[in-house]
């Protein structure tokens, strides 16, 4: 298990940097809202983060 922790941390940081590069600060806010909502077991916060990310992803199609 201790070996997996640094690997997981690198993957999380990479995903965050990819979202920030692709979708800017709003993408990072959406990702943080989604993660905090899941950890806090709050469907409202996680739904807000998911909706924000969905709007950012679907923006070019709209």
Nearest to 20 by CA among 32, 10, 8: 32
Torsions phi, psi for 2 (to 5 deg) = -60, -25
∠ at Cα 54 (51, 58), nearest 5°?
Answer: 140
> Where exactly are the structural domains of the chain?
3-58
The pLDDT tens digits for 2-27 are 778 888 888 888 888 888 888 888 88
The pLDDT tens digits for 27-46 are 889 888 998 998 999 999 99
| Tokens at 54, concatenated | 């969905």
With cut-offs at 50, 70 and 90, classify the pLDDT of residue 62.
low
H/E run at residue 4: helix 4-39
Q: What's the pLDDT score for residue 21?
A: 85
Nearest to 32 by CA among 59, 14, 60, 52: 52
pTM: predicted TM-score of the whole model, two decimal places:
0.73
């Amino acid at each position: 298990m201790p070996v997996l922790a640094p690997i997981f941390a690198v993957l999380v940081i990479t995903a965050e940097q990819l979202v920030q590069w692709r979708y800017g600060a709003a993408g990072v806010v959406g990702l943080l809202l989604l993660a905090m909502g899941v950890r806090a077991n709050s469907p409202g916060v996680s739904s807000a983060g998911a909706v924000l990310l969905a709007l950012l992803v679907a923006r070019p199609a709209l």
